[in-house]
Amino acid sequence: MAQTQLQHAREGTITPAMERIADRENRTPEFVREQVASGQAVIPSNHNHESLDPMIIGREFSTKVNANIGNSEETSDLKGELEKLHTAVHYGADTVMDLSTGTNLDEIREANVAHSPVPVGTVPIYEAVKQAESPEDITRDLLVDVIEKQAEQGVDYMTIHAGVLMEHLPLTDGRKTGIVSRGGSILAQWMEENSMQNPLYVAFEELCEIFAEHDVTFSLGDGLRPGCVADAGDEAQYAELETLGELTRTAWDHGVQVMVEGPGHVPMDQVAENVEKQQEVCDGAPFYVLGPLVTDVAPGYDHITSAIGATEAGRAGAAMLCYVTPKEHLGLPEKEDVREGLAAYRIAAHAADVANDLPGARDWDDALSEARYQFDWRRQFDLALDPERAQSYHDQTLPGDNYKEARFCSMCGVEFCSMRIDQDARDADGEMTAIEDETDLSESLAAETNLPPVGTHDTSRVPEKIEIDGVTFTPESSHADD
């Protein structure tokens, strides 16, 4: 049987995927292997996903961003789904989750895997619900069959909500927003109706065997995550986390790679604590957070409320951020929403990497800053996180080719461009000359366009008096002369 990346790593083997990742991440292949062997990082790479360019998820590597794609009952054509995949990858998604709940699920999933250079994740319970037609009719065998089929189709990682247990459910009583995870709410309904334990928990070792065979990575779902800041960090959330820690170790015992999902909605001051707790309870398995939103008051802007929390989560050690679009809580995202969500999350991920001083992370910032100071507009656009957006905003006011080398833009204008003024004030070695009493200011480089030079006050230009509506003011006093 082909081995998982975890099994290879434990045996001391550096796989081609590890070599490729080392190259992408400015790390040595041996460091990649060690991180995978200890479970601190995962390489989601199903043996059947041939178009994959391997990547890694772990806190010692660049923070990754996931984008959710997929159809619904209302929108279900293959071409449209592949377009969503293309959009997500184009705007920088490191992984995609196919959350389709409409029709042609197999066809769409297989096409996504066949065309995706990034790992594809799924939440198999959605398909199980479709097949059973109602949540309470799902059976353990149906769940296992759906999961096995998706593993054979080449899915790289699956969200499995095996940590929601019967005994956790009463802990959600009194919450402001109950159970907000789709998988969590489906399983809670199933357990209530059938008075039986979560079938994914019961079948977990069987799932480990399937995952080991195909090298599918667990993404242990947080079915009891808080759905508002008031519910964050409650007993239900942390009780489930303890079970996720137990399941992490079970999966490792079977040689299966694991990451763990996290909230959701968390006030800013609790974000780091959430990450630290997960790292402790789950022995450092990579943490994959959904946001978190740090406030609930901004529907329409939840890509921003959540990117703030995601930045802090990344800084504190989260390894992957699941993007949120401006449509969160309001509707199904469209192409422009995907773009906005990915931009917000790539900023969050990169800001966290810079703060964590990841090897090479700040090189990008430095290169862009240098291009900016050199007024190399074309290079500045090329280096921008969203080059098309950067150029189109610049060109709205200064579209001509001549402005691509201009020493200003329309933000401050030619006269007040601080970088141009700064450069003019420096000598050929880039040093600032001290202005002394005897300095002839009319000789300064800035004098031609900027009179008086910045930081000086040319009193010869101050009028002796000003008259407004018949009242006379003098420079010595802001009061009108009596």
Q: How far apart are CA 98 and CA 228, in angstroms?
A: 25
Please report which helix (H) or strand (E) contains residue 41, including its range. Answer: strand 41-42
What count of Cα atoms within 13 Å lies in the side-chain half-sphere of residue 257?
A: 32
Q: Token digits for 120?
A: 């594809």
- Nearer to ligand SF4 among residue 345 and residue 408 (C-beta): 408
Tell me the site size for ligand SF4, rule CB under 6 A.
8
409 is in an annotated binding site: yes
Of 180, 258, 271, 253, the residue nearest 222 (C-alpha): 180
DSSP 406-441: -S--TTTHHHH-HHHHHHHHB-TTSPBPPP-TT--G
Which distant-in-sequence residues (6+ apart) come within 8 Å of 164 by Cβ? Answer: 183, 184, 187, 188, 191, 198, 201, 223, 224, 240, 243
Task: Give the closest residue to 291 by CA, choosing from 226, 241, 362.
Answer: 226
151-190 binders of ligand SF4 (CB under 6 A): none
Q: Which stretch binds ligand SF4 (CB under 6 A): 180-188, 290-298, 416-424, 430-438?
A: 416-424
Regarding 418 and contact with ligand SF4 (CB under 6 A), the answer is yes
**Quick one: 131 or 418, whose CB is closer to ligand SF4?**
418
Whole-number CA gyration radius for the chain: 28
Smallest gap, in angstroms, from Cβ of residue 407 to ligand SF4? Answer: 7
Smaller CB distance to ligand SF4: residue 77 or 405?
Answer: 405
| Local structure of residue 443 (DSSP, 8 states) | G
How do strand 466-468 and strand 320-322 relate by DSSP bridges? unpaired
CB of 419 to ligand SF4, least distance (A): 4
Q: How is residue 38 written in tokens? A: 């200890």
User: Within 10 A of 114 (CB to CB), how many other CB atoms are there?
Assistant: 15
Query: Is 224 labeled as ligand-binding?
Result: yes
Based on the shown chain and the rule CB under 6 A, indicate whether residue 419 belongs to the binding site for ligand SF4: yes
C-beta closer to ligand SF4: residue 412 or 471: 412
Among 164, 313, 320, 409, binds ligand SF4 (CB under 6 A): 409
Those residues whose C-beta lies under 8 Å from the C-beta of residue 62, and which sit 6 or more positions away, are 25, 349, 353, 358, 361
DSSP output for 125-183: HHHHHHHHSSGGG--HHHHHHHHHHHHHTT--EEEE-TT--GGGGGGGTT-SS----HH
**Shortest reach from residue 412's CB to ligand SF4, in Å:** 3
Q: At its nearest, how many Å lie between ligand SF4 and the CB of residue 352?
A: 26
User: Of the ranges 37-45, 235-243, 380-388, 418-426, which one interacts with ligand SF4 (CB under 6 A)?
Assistant: 418-426
Token pair 């619904």 is found at 72
Q: Any known ligand binding at 329?
A: yes
Q: Would you say 230 or 454 has its CB closer to ligand SF4?
A: 454
301 is in an annotated binding site: no
Build a one-symbol-per-residue string for 17-56: x at contacts with ligand SF4 by CB under 6 A, - elsewhere: ----------------------------------------
Residue 26, annotated ligand binder? Answer: no
Quote the least distance from Cβ 449 to ligand SF4, whole Å: 13
Between 202 and 412, whose beta carbon lies closer to ligand SF4?
412
Is 49 known to sit in a ligand binding site?
Answer: no
Q: Are 300 and 316 in contact (CB under 8 A)?
A: no
User: Among 411, 435, 441, 471, which residue sits at the site for ligand SF4 (rule: CB under 6 A)?
Assistant: 411
As measured in angstroms, the least distance from the Cβ of 375 to ligand SF4 is 7
Q: Binding site annotation covers 90?
A: no
**408 counts as binding ligand SF4 under rule CB under 6 A:** yes
Q: Which stretch binds ligand SF4 (CB under 6 A): 253-261, 314-322, 353-361, 410-418?
A: 410-418
The sign one gets for the Cα dihedral 326, 311, 316, 283 is: positive
Residue 178 marked in a binding site: no
Question: What is the CB-side half-sphere exposure of residue 24 using CA atoms within 13 A?
Answer: 18
Establish whether 228 is an annotated binding residue.
no
User: Is 261 labelled as part of a ligand binding site?
Assistant: yes
412 binds ligand SF4 (CB under 6 A): yes
| Residue 403 or 473 with smaller CB distance to ligand SF4 | 403
Nearer residue to ligand SF4 within complex by CB, 9 or 409: 409
Handedness of CA 52, 24, 245, 228 (dihedral sign): negative
Tokens for 13, please give them: 């083997």
Among 21, 69, 417, 425, binds ligand SF4 (CB under 6 A): 417
Nearest to 379 by CA among 405, 350, 343: 405
Using the minimum distance from each CB to ligand SF4, give the nearer residue, 3 or 423.
Answer: 423
Closest distance to ligand SF4 from the beta carbon of 414 (Å):
8
Instruction: Using the rule CB under 6 A, give the single segment among 50-58, 210-218, 340-348, 412-420 that binds ligand SF4.
Output: 412-420
DSSP string, 83-117: HHHHHHHHTT-SEEEE---SS-HHHHHHHHHHH-S
The answer to whether 174 and 236 are in contact (CB under 8 A) is no
- Residues in contact with ligand SF4 by CB under 6 A are 408-409, 411-412, 417-420
Residues annotated in the binding site, as ranges?
68, 97, 126, 161, 181-183, 222-225, 261, 265, 288, 329, 409, 412, 417
Residues annotated in the binding site for [4Fe-4S] cluster, as ranges?
409, 412, 417
Residues annotated in the binding site for Zn(2+), as ranges?
265, 329
Residues annotated in the binding site for substrate, as ranges?
68, 97, 126, 161, 181-183, 222-225, 261, 288
